[in-house]
Structure 1
Amino acid sequence: MRPSAKLARKINFLLMSLSLLAWVLIFFKSGDKLEIDVCRTIAPKGFDLNFINVDSIMKLGGQWWAWSLMVLAMMSPKLILPLQQLAALSLKRLRFSNCILFVLGYLSSWSLASLPLLLLSPMIQRQELSGYLSASLVLIVALIWQCSPYKQYCLNQGHQHKIIRAFGYQSGIDSYNYGLQHGIYCVGSGWLLMLFPMMVTAAHLPAMAAVTFIMFSEHLQNPRPVKWRFDLRLQLLTYLYYLVMRSLSVKLGRNI
Structure 2
Amino acid sequence: MAFPDRLEATLRHDRVIVIVALTGVAGLAWGYMIREAQGMAQTGICQCAGIAMSGPDTQPWSPFAIVPLFLMWAEMMVAMMIPSATPMILTFARVNRQRREQERPFVPTGLFVLGYLIVWCGFSLIAALAQWGLHGAALLSPVMKSNSTILSGLLLMVTGIFQWTPWKRACLRHCNSPLGFLLGDWREGRGGALAMGLKHGVHCTGCCWLLMALLFIAGVMNLLWVAAITLVVLLEKMLPRGEWFCRVVGAGCVAWGGWILASPPA
Aligned-CA RMSD value: 3.7
3-state SS of paired residue (1:161): helix
Q: Distance in 1 between matches of 2:192 and 2:133?
A: 37
1:69-105 residue CA offsets vs partner (Å, 9 max, x unmatched): 111100111221111121122238986x722111111
Q: Report the equivalent of 1:28.
A: 35
Pairing of 1:134-153 with structure 2 (within 5 A): 134-153=151-170
TM-score (norm 1): 0.68
**Compared with structure 1, are the counterparts of its residues 114 and 145 closer, same or farther at alpha carbon in structure 2 (3 Å cutoff)?**
same
Over 3 Å counting, the alpha-carbon distance change for 1:144 and 1:72 in structure 2 is same
Q: Counterpart in 2 of 1:8?
A: 15
The separation in 2 between residues aligned to 1:144 and 1:31, in whole angstroms, is 34
Contact 2:18–2:90 under 8 Å retained in 1? yes
Separation in 1, partners of 2:212, 2:78: 13
Counterpart of 1:65, as a letter, is L
Could you tell me which amino acid in structure 2 is paired with residue 35 of structure 1? Q
**Aligned residue runs from structure 1 range 190-205, under 5 A:** 190-201=208-219, 204-205=222-223
How many residues align structurally? 212
CA distance in 1: counterparts of 2:52 and 2:212, whole angstroms: 11
Letter of the 1:107 counterpart: L
Structure 2: which 5+ residue stretches go unaligned?
A: 1-10, 41-45, 141-145, 251-266
Identity %: 23
Unaligned stretches of 5+ residues in structure 1: 46-50, 234-256
Letter in 2 for 1:114: S
2:147 corresponds to 1:131: yes
Matched-pair contact (CA < 8 Å) for 2:116–2:199: yes
- Deviation track 1:52-74 (CA, whole Å, cap 9, x = no partner) reads xxx633x2221221121111100
Q: Secondary structure at the match of 1:131?
A: coil
Hey, what's the Cα distance between the residues in 2 that align with 1:38 and 1:155?
A: 37
* 8 Å contact kept, 1:38–1:198: no
User: Structure 1 counterpart of 2:76, which letter?
Assistant: M
Distance in 2 (alpha carbons) for counterparts of 1:172 and 1:84? 18
Change (3 A) 1:102 1:22: same
Bigger shift: 132-141 or 101-110? 132-141
Higher mean Cα deviation, 65-74 or 197-206?
197-206
TM-score, structure 2 normalization: 0.65
Give the stretch that moved more between structures: 97-106 or 120-129: 120-129
Distance in 1 (alpha carbons) for counterparts of 2:220 and 2:94: 43
Going from structure 1 to structure 2, the CA distance change for 1:224 and 1:17 (only over 3 Å counts) comes to: closer
